[in-house]
Amino acid sequence: MTTSRNIILVLCVFLLAMSAAIAGTTTPKEIKVISSAGGPDPVGDVIVTWEGGRHERLTHGAHAEQAKLGPDDLIGWAWSKERYKNLWVNEHLRVQRGKHLLFEIKSGKPFIEDWAFAKEGVVVKSRAMHGPALIELFSLSDGKQIEIVTKAFGPEVPLWAKPFADSD
């Protein structure tokens, strides 16, 4: 009877260790884009390195760029589904917690120049091929737009948007 209990105890410890290892795989430690074409601004597929060192490709045949880690296991990247004049129109931003999609954002202008996770939400700076930029703030809970700055320079730029402001 004691041998059976020992085996059950060993199995329980093993299962707990395995579940802890599996749980750690949803904590991203690094995110990057691997490019099939090379170049200084890589566009390609998203690769995540999970806690524990396991690498995983989250996209296949994507046109992703600007992949970033955020707080609370958040990850995100801009992506394109069409081209315009040999440029990928990266007006989409995907935000996930680990491997679970939270929301997708479509920027106000066709090209996302930069974006970031901020304490206020997700900040996205976008622009057309020429002209002024927009700076938008989106909610981290549902991806809905909270605020938009149509003049991305000057003293009127709110504090959350200042890191994305154009120089005067």
Which element (helix H / strand E) includes 19? helix 2-24
Of residues 123, 110, 118, 125, the one with CA closest to residue 166: 125
pLDDT tens, N- to C-terminus, the chain (168 residues): 567 665 665 454 444 444 444 444 579 999 999 986 665 557 899 999 999 999 999 999 889 999 999 999 999 999 998 878 877 789 999 999 999 999 999 999 999 999 999 999 999 999 998 899 999 999 999 999 999 999 888 888 999 999 999 986
Can you give the pLDDT at residue 85? 81
Can you give the pLDDT at residue 1? 54
Other C-beta atoms lying within 10 Å of the C-beta of residue 4 = 8
pTM, two decimals, is 0.80
Query: How far apart are the C-alpha atoms of 144 and 122, rounded to whole Å?
Result: 10
Query: How far apart are the C-alpha atoms of 122 and 101, rounded to whole Å?
Result: 15
**∠ CA 70-75-76, rounded to 5°:** 110
Other C-beta atoms lying within 10 Å of the C-beta of residue 95 = 21
Asked if residue 115 lies in contact with residue 125, where contact means CB atoms within 8 angstroms, the answer is yes
